[in-house]
Structure 1
Amino acid sequence: MTTYTVCPIPAGTLAALLTEDDAGVPAAGYLDPEGDAPLRCCLRRSAPGERIALVSYAPLRRWAAETGARPGAYDERGPVFVHADSCPGRSGPELPFTNAHRVLRRYSAQGHILGGELVSEDFPAALARAFSDPEVASVHVRAVEYGCFLYEVRRG
């Protein structure tokens, strides 16, 4: 059985993104009036009145800096919601944000796309299929409606 780790945006990366995001812009925090924004730093939905920020994030670029991968043209950045201050950390379901259609995008250890799958149910089975390919090092979970990065799942 393949094991994997669900990876929110780490605290150190969050601090860096709040200073200057991956588009070179300082974060502008605000009070979320309605809540329900998918926070990528703790992998839960925001609460009404919680202080959050929308920042630009390049997940493959950050991963490549850690691993030495060279994603080339696959390096992309997009908007993500995070806490605007410190984050209490992750405490939620093993596989968050699985109550809607999602896209699983598979990546090699070099950071190249190996394929994707639209998932509408049995999320654990879809992850097992993704990691059944020994070339898959990482899987990005993305929202269908906007294509936004939600979180990464790493082998091991």
Structure 2
Amino acid sequence: MNGCTARPVPPAALDELRVTDDAGRAPVPRTDTEGGAPLRCCLRRSRAGERTALVSYAPLRRWAARAGADPGAYDEQGPVFIHAERCAGPDPEDGLAFTHAHRTLRRYSAEGRILGGRLVEPGGFGPALREAFDGPDVEFVHVRAVEYGCFLYEVTRG
């Protein structure tokens, strides 16, 4: 979608998560034998043979620390797949990732408070994302998987 940017897990956070995740555990890298895991470091699906790790990530907590906000009760952590070692990050030509399935868009204010959410049907992602940013109080949007509720990535204006 024009005017929006998909933001993977930031590189500095990835470096930290590869040592200790946001639940305080060391990651356990493994070779992905099948492929298909949604990687939050490069916003694509894993390929068979790649080394990945499933780590606990707290996106709102990390955003709040950078923004000087208090996420309060909205602070949460959940599982995300990342490459076990540094990767090249997202391909800028790919645009918004993981959009061809049921998704949830969760809108947040500059204070880190949830302003609302929406279930998005396959094929309706672009219009739903534009609508999510219609509100002047919306600072960013989290894109989440419906099946497990997992954080996929953050979208910001510009």
Q: Are the counterparts in 2 of residues 33 and 49 from structure 1 also a CA contact under 8 Å?
A: yes
Greater shift in the superposed pair: 79-88 or 118-127: 118-127
Identity %: 63
- For normalisation by structure 1, the TM-score amounts to 0.96
Q: 2:130 corresponds to which letter in structure 1?
A: A
Moved over 3 A (4+): none
Q: Does 1:60 align with 2:83?
A: no
| Cα RMSD for the two superposed structures | 1.4
Q: Are the counterparts in 2 of residues 42 and 87 from structure 1 also a CA contact under 8 Å?
A: yes
Length, aligned pairs only:
156
Q: Kindly provide the CA deviation profile for residues 77-114 of structure 1, in whole angstroms up to 9, marking residues without a partner as x.
A: 00000000111211152111011000000000010100
Q: Give the deviation of 1:123 after TM superposition.
A: 1.1
- Residues of 2 paired with 1:69 and 1:94: CA distance? 29
- Residues of 1 paired with 2:4 and 2:100: CA distance? 20
SS for the counterpart of 1:19 is: coil
Q: 1:82 corresponds to which letter in structure 2?
A: I
Report the equivalent of 1:115. 116
Report the equivalent of 1:25. 25
Q: Give the deviation of 1:154 after TM superposition.
A: 1.4
Report the equivalent of 1:93. 94
SS for the counterpart of 2:61 is: helix
Q: Give the deviation of 1:70 after TM superposition.
A: 1.3
Q: Give the deviation of 1:65 after TM superposition.
A: 1.1
Q: Give the deviation of 1:4 after TM superposition.
A: 2.2
- Residues of 1 paired with 2:110 and 2:29: CA distance? 34
- Residues of 1 paired with 2:156 and 2:72: CA distance? 20
Matches within 5 A, 1:3-152: 3-91=3-91, 93-120=94-121, 121-152=123-154
Q: Are the counterparts in 2 of residues 8 and 152 from structure 1 also a CA contact under 8 Å?
A: yes
SS for the counterpart of 2:129 is: helix
- For normalisation by structure 2, the TM-score amounts to 0.95
Ranges in structure 2 where 5+ consecutive residues have no aligned partner: none
